[in-house]
Amino acid sequence: MSKRKQHHPEFKAKVALEVLKGEETVSELASRFGVHPTMIHQWKGALLEGASGVFERGGRQAAEVDEEQVKDLHAEIGELAVANDFLARKLKTLDRQVRCKMIEPNLPGLSVSKQCALLSISRSSVYYEPKGESQMNLDPMRQMTWQLRNGDYLVNEKRIRRLMRLMGFIPIYQKPNTSKAAKGHKIYPYLLRGLRVDRPNQVWCADITYLPMRRGFLYLVAIMDWHTRKVLAWRISNTLEAGFCVDALNEAIHKFGPPEIMNTDHGSQFTSFVWTDRLRRSSVRISMDEKGRFLDNIFVERLWRSLKYECVYLHAWDTGSDAKAGVRKWIEFYNHKRTHSALGGKPPAVIYWQRNETTTPDQQVQRVA
């Protein structure tokens, strides 16, 4: 039985910080760092949970120290850090095989693990000699499973998936279950049946969709005013935690004030405590679609269709920054310039401010800006 690979805390922190940047999808990060996507999700959560501890102040009293000795030690540490950084940068320019030959297994006082860290190589590379792929695997690598079977290759989908992952090939297809419910979360009733929605901020709705990238997916959440179809706030994330949804909700409430009712589907992000607690603290009534009825949130579904056919499918974004810039440009166009048949040929933002009788002109100018 193979021993489970152990990752250093520094490596975990590096991967988690890359996830928080939002520039790459989880699939891309998993391929680049050679770890499973589930581990990336766990490391991101651990980083977010432990971040507050950095700023906590303990009640311990500092021990008395020799200031001169501390100053000398700091100077020595600084010199060693500069020297270590200089050597590390120079060593990285050497081929990995050359760096592997520099390892001295029996060197006293400096373990193989420490030597590997100083040379920026993995410890396993010192002991393991890669066998490479057999010619039988290399020949059918660019073929699909059914084509290979027709050609008398004994393969299955898992083997093809492994070989495609080895080459960095990821198919683009719709990500399933962006609205997957969580067990134990409270499901609220649907409040919009028979309700006449005739003014802004009476009902808001929210939903999540996927954004296909060159490799993998990003996820987009939008908060929309039901009556005017105006997109009030949005966020993009490379993971499906509830945090980026709450960030969009906070922005919408801050800019436009809370609605009377918020309607969503049963997705775990919208049934989570952080989401529902934020709504309850703002005295917002919570409404959720009935199971299997996507038409209960039809206006957001229509928004996704327009966004993807008019923007997303016309581009193949490489980074999260590219995706955010493209989505931001399209939503600005949608809110302020794109005509809407249900609004008499006017853009959603125009109708929102015309019919929002509770907002003064000065506030309208400030919020639009």
Tens digit of each residue's pLDDT (9 = 90 or more) over 8-34: 888 888 888 888 888 888 888 888 888
**Measured between alpha carbons, how far is 110 from 132 in angstroms, rounded to an integer?**
31
Mean pLDDT of 77-97: 79
Hey, how many other C-beta atoms are within 10 angstroms of the C-beta on 249? Answer: 27
| Superfamily covering domain 203-368 | Ribonuclease H-like superfamily/Ribonuclease H (3.30.420.10)
**What is the distance between the terminal CA atoms of the chain, rounded to a whole angstrom?**
62
Residue 366: the pLDDT is: 37
Categorize the per-residue pLDDT at 362 as very low, low, confident or very high, splitting at 50, 70 and 90.
very low
**Measured between alpha carbons, how far is 162 from 31 in angstroms, rounded to an integer?**
11
SS3 131: coil
User: What residues contact 28, with CB distance under 8 A and at least 6 apart?
Assistant: 213, 215, 216
Categorize the per-residue pLDDT at 226 as very low, low, confident or very high, splitting at 50, 70 and 90.
very high
**Measured between alpha carbons, how far is 241 from 221 in angstroms, rounded to an integer?**
11
DSSP string for residues in 328-356 = HHHHHHHHHT--BGGGTSB-HHHHHHHH-
**pLDDT greater than 90 at residue 163:** no
User: Which string of b and e fits 250-263 if b means at least 16 CB within 10 Å?
Assistant: eebbeebebbebbb
Query: Is residue 3 within 8 Å of 128, Cβ to Cβ?
Result: no
**pLDDT greater than 60 at residue 59:** no
Residue 324: the pLDDT is: 93
**Measured between alpha carbons, how far is 272 from 221 in angstroms, rounded to an integer?**
15
Name residue, tokens 């038409």: 295
User: Which string of b and e fits 210-241 if b means at least 16 CB within 10 Å?
Assistant: bbbbebbbbbbbbbbbbbbbbbbbbbbbbbbb
Percentage helix, strand, coil for the chain under 3-state DSSP, each rounded to 5: 50, 10, 40
Mean pLDDT of 301-313: 89
Mean pLDDT of 317-324: 90
**pLDDT greater than 70 at residue 261:** yes
Dihedral of CA 42/45/49/50: which sign?
positive
**pLDDT greater than 70 at residue 138:** no
- Token pair, residue 10, equals 């520094």
DSSP conformation class of 286: E
- Token pair, residue 113, equals 């693990």
Residue 202: the pLDDT is: 93
Residue 102: the pLDDT is: 83
**Measured between alpha carbons, how far is 239 from 25 in angstroms, rounded to an integer?**
8
Of 221, 231, 236, nearest to 256 by C-alpha is 231
Residue 4: the pLDDT is: 67
User: What residues contact 143, with CB distance under 8 A and at least 6 apart?
Assistant: 151, 153, 160
**Measured between alpha carbons, how far is 116 from 88 in angstroms, rounded to an integer?**
11
